[in-house]
Amino acid sequence: MTAQEPFGARLRRAMDTRGPLCVGIDPHAALLTDWGVGDGLAGLERFSRTVVEALAERVAVLKPQSAFYERFGSRGVAVLERTVAEARAAGALVVLDAKRGDIGSTMTAYAETFLRPGAPLFADALTVSPYLGYGSLRSTVDLARENGCGLFVLALTSNPEGAEVQHAVDGGGRSVGATVLARLAAENAGAAPLGSFGAVVGATLGDLSSYDLAINGPLLAPGIGAQGATPADLPAVFGASVHNVLPSVSRGVLRHGPGAGALREAADRFADEVRTALAAD
């Protein structure tokens, strides 16, 4: 099997042609109820298929949240498998939001679950946690690189609880979050047009000028929409690295369902607002 083009290159092209926007597929129980499809397996499947059919041919990235499928057991995971495969077949890049983080053979098994071609849940990229030590991700980084996939590593997240770990400093005065960013910059050294190993950095965090965000890789920025950040905030938060930012929005788009047309209009509106914000920078 011929290795696919590196994720970073594919993502750069998708962001440039489709617009820099990631839409999360987050089938919350409340959202399934609001859509009128019911908080059950049939509602999960209808919700997922509607989002994919509405958006996979037009947005750069779709990001299914694994937990909302896992809560239905094996049948929910089967829906996730179909969702990932159908979204990729329609042309979207798929970032599977599973936030896996473990050590040794367990982490290798997670990597093979999501980043091995032919695996039922094979995706273009995976979210991972480095908080058992960045080195615990080595087998995952290696497998992603081998198969042309990407990773988004939790670095500076928008949840308030994250600060107690991510802002903690070592003996040299460097924070944990800054260390993660530095390790990602090393992974991406020399990559063009964009490295495949990105960081998750919250769009709600305000001025991040004290952090070096120039990792030569993508910055997945949750927090747009329901969490309070807007596309217009991006230049102030991300500074010179803003053109490598992939803003992520979930409820801000999904709440407009179940009509496919309304979902498309909402996604297009966010993408246009991001383009306008970046053009003004």
For residue 58, being part of any structural domain is answered with yes
For residue 179, being part of any structural domain is answered with no
For residue 181, being part of any structural domain is answered with no
b/e 89-119 (16+ beta carbons within 10 angstroms → b): eeebbbbbbbbbbbeeeebbebbebbbeeee
CA dihedral over 191, 183, 175, 102, signed as positive or negative: positive
Q: Which two tokens stand for residue 266?
A: 């909402």
The stretch 110-124 carries a mean pLDDT of 98
Residue with the larger pLDDT of the pair 2 and 143: 143
What is the Cα–Cα distance from 222 to 231, expressed in whole angstroms?
Answer: 11
For residue 184, being part of any structural domain is answered with no
What's the mean per-residue pLDDT of the chain?
A: 95
- pLDDT tens digits for range 146-191: 999 999 999 999 898 999 999 999 988 999 999 999 999 999 999 9
Backbone dihedral angles phi then psi of residue 148, each to the nearest 5 degrees: 70, 25
Q: Is the pLDDT of residue 133 over 90?
A: yes
The stretch 121-125 carries a mean pLDDT of 98
For residue 20, being part of any structural domain is answered with yes
Per cent of the chain over pLDDT 90 is 92
> Based on the structure, what is the number of domains in the chain?
1
Longest distance between any two alpha carbons in the chain, whole Å? 54
- pLDDT tens digits for range 215-254: 999 999 998 876 788 999 999 999 999 999 999 999 999 9
For residue 123, being part of any structural domain is answered with yes
Q: Is the pLDDT of residue 1 over 50?
A: no
For residue 16, being part of any structural domain is answered with yes
Burial class (CB within 10 angstroms; exposed 0-12, middle 13-18, buried 19+) of 168? exposed
Identify whether 63 is a catalytic site residue.
no
Of 88, 99, 116, 243, the catalytic one is 99
Q: Which residues span the domain enclosing 11?
A: 7-174+192-275
Cα Rg of the chain (Å, integer)? 18
Q: What is the DSSP letter of 67?
A: H
3-state secondary structure of 52: helix
For residue 1, being part of any structural domain is answered with no
The stretch 14-19 carries a mean pLDDT of 96
The stretch 118-132 carries a mean pLDDT of 98
Residue 94: HSE in the Cβ half-sphere, 13 Å Cα cutoff: 26
Whole-number pLDDT of residue 12: 98
Domain CATH code at residue 92: 3.20.20.70
Nearest CA to 189 among 213, 215, 151?
215
